[in-house]
């Protein structure tokens, strides 16, 4: 096996497992979400951004119609799946994500006839609510599309990846994570209108404002498939139906809530309506260069997610309180909820907030949280072959 100097770990892993060079190498990032939580499947607005952590896939075509999957993070769980046998339920565990994308591509008229070998490497923590699954789907989808020369616009690939996650893996997520991984631009957050699919890049440069965005991995693990996420989706659909609208996105005034007699549905709808308004408010603040002004909006989002949507968890509540007491400008839980990470807006170059959260966790006898800087980074890109502008967007 050759091991050229400068080879990426994913390329070396490819050579190790498959004994030849990879034809294409793609990287797709995980995401943070500045604001707009549980709004995507209500056809509302989200404002995520790509992280500089992600999943790398080194890939080559085969001739035997098999999808061969190897992950550096799961070396004892390889998967070899004949493409013709791909069907929901046929593949389980981590391999279901890339297999699901191949299944979705085939369903969209891209048969990938000869199959492919994929060697996967990730530096994203799993279960931390940073969308490692979406990054795996997106990097795999780009690699397969690249190998087979498919002309697949990224918004379409985002939809196919979500279809794979919903209908092959069986996790009822929205479109935010795949869109963020594929469509984000460095130094920007991605404003996505989840009804129309329209995107706008919103400048987000915390360092220029003397600030930093800090991810707090609370250590509590979540699973979108555990039923509570799906229950929230059902509650929102029910509230929309009772209000006579196609989705809660259509409701902009809180006055409408008086029509909902069920207090739970009223709270769920109130979160979605106010969260959509907070996305709009955040975009306005960022557009006039007032990142510090976003702090209180993040805190209001947390309160709404905790009290109205009831998806926060004890470690997130404690992290938010400790962050605010130690000088954060704002903080909130992030992602689907019930575990994963929180996000705090903090003054740059200090550790007062992370120190305070660590101390508070220790005082409660909880395992220490992990901290990651959240730097608005580029969406997915091709690493090999390198091209002119290095973006892989050709």
The contact pattern for ligand GLA, residues 32-51, with x = CB under 6 A and - = no contact, is -----xx-xx----------
Question: Of 259, 368, 169, 188, which is closest to residue 160 (Cα–Cα)?
Answer: 169
Q: Which is nearer to ligand GLA, 206 or 336 (CB)?
A: 336
CA distance 23 to 58: 7
Place of tokens 């947390």: 302
Q: Which is nearer to ligand GLA, 135 or 212 (CB)?
A: 135
CA distance 78 to 119: 10
H-only helix segments in the chain: 9-18, 96-107, 132-147, 154-164, 176-183, 228-243, 263-287, 295-307, 314-325, 352-363
Q: What radius of gyration do the chain's Cα atoms show? A: 21
Stretch of 172-180, 245-253, 289-297, 383-391 lying at the interface with ligand GLA (CB under 6 A): 172-180
CB of 356 to ligand GLA, least distance (A): 26
| Residue 217 makes contact with ligand GLA by CB under 6 A | no
* Residue numbers annotated as active site: 177
Which residue's Cβ has the minimum distance to ligand GLA? Answer: 174
CA distance 203 to 205: 6
Q: Which is nearer to ligand GLA, 71 or 301 (CB)?
A: 301
CB 251 within 8 A of CB 245: yes
CA distance 52 to 193: 24
Q: Which is nearer to ligand GLA, 38 or 62 (CB)?
A: 38
Binding positions for ligand GLA, 305-344, rule CB under 6 A: 335-336
Q: Which residues of 188-220 are buried (b: 16+ CB within 10 A; e: fewer)?
A: bbbbbebeeeebebbebebeebebbbbbbbbbb
Q: Which is nearer to ligand GLA, 79 or 158 (CB)?
A: 158
| Residue 191 makes contact with ligand GLA by CB under 6 A | no
| Residue 282 makes contact with ligand GLA by CB under 6 A | no
Stretch of 74-82, 139-147, 173-181, 202-210 lying at the interface with ligand GLA (CB under 6 A): 173-181
Contact with ligand GLA (CB under 6 A): which of 15, 29, 174, 295? 174
Summarize as ranges the residues that interact with ligand GLA (CB under 6 A): 37-38, 40-41, 173-174, 176-177, 224, 335-336
């Amino acid at each position: 096996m050759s091991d050229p100097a400068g080879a990426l770990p994913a390329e070396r892993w490819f050579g190790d497992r498959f004994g030849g060079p990879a034809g294409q190498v793609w990287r797709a990032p995980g995401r943070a979400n500045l604001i707009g939580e549980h709004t995507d499947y209500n056809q509302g607005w989200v404002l995520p951004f790509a992280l500089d952590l992600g999943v790398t896939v080194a890939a080559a075509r085969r001739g035997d119609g098999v999808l061969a999957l190897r992950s550096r993070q799961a070396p004892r769980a390889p998967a070899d799946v004949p493409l013709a046998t791909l069907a929901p339920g046929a593949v389980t565990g981590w391999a279901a994500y890339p297999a699901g994308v191949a299944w979705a591509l085939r369903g969209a008229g891209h048969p990938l006839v000869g199959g492919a070998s994929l060697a996967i490497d990730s530096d994203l923590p799993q279960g931390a609510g940073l969308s490692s699954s979406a990054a795996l789907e997106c990097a795999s989808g780009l690699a397969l599309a690249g190998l087979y020369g498919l002309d697949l616009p990224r918004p379409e690939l985002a939809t196919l990846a979500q279809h794979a996650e919903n209908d092959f893996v069986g996790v009822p997520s929205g479109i935010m994570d795949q869109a963020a991984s594929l469509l984000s631009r460095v130094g920007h957050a991605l404003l996505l209108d989840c009804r129309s699919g329209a995107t706008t890049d919103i400048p987000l440069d915390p360092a220029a404002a003397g600030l930093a965005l800090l991810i707090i991995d609370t250590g509590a693990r979540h699973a979108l498939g555990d039923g509570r996420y799906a229950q929230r989706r059902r509650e929102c659909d029910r509230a929309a139906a009772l209000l006579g609208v196609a989705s809660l996105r259509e409701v902009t005034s809180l006055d409408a809530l008086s029509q909902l007699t069920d207090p739970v549905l009223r709270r769920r709808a109130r979160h979605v309506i106010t969260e959509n308004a907070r996305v709009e408010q955040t975009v306005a603040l960022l557009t006039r260069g007032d990142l510090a002004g976003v702090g209180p909006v993040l805190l209001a989002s947390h309160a709404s997610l905790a009290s109205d949507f009831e998806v926060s968890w004890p470690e997130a509540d404690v992290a938010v309180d400790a962050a605010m007491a130690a000088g954060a400008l704002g903080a909130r839980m992030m992602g689907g909820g019930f575990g994963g990470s929180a996000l705090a807006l903090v003054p740059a170059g200090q550790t007062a907030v992370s120190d305070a959260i660590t101390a508070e966790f220790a005082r409660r006898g909880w395992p220490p949280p992990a901290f990651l800087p959240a730097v608005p980074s580029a969406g997915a890109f091709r690493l090999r072959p390198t091209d002119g502008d290095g973006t892989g967007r050709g």
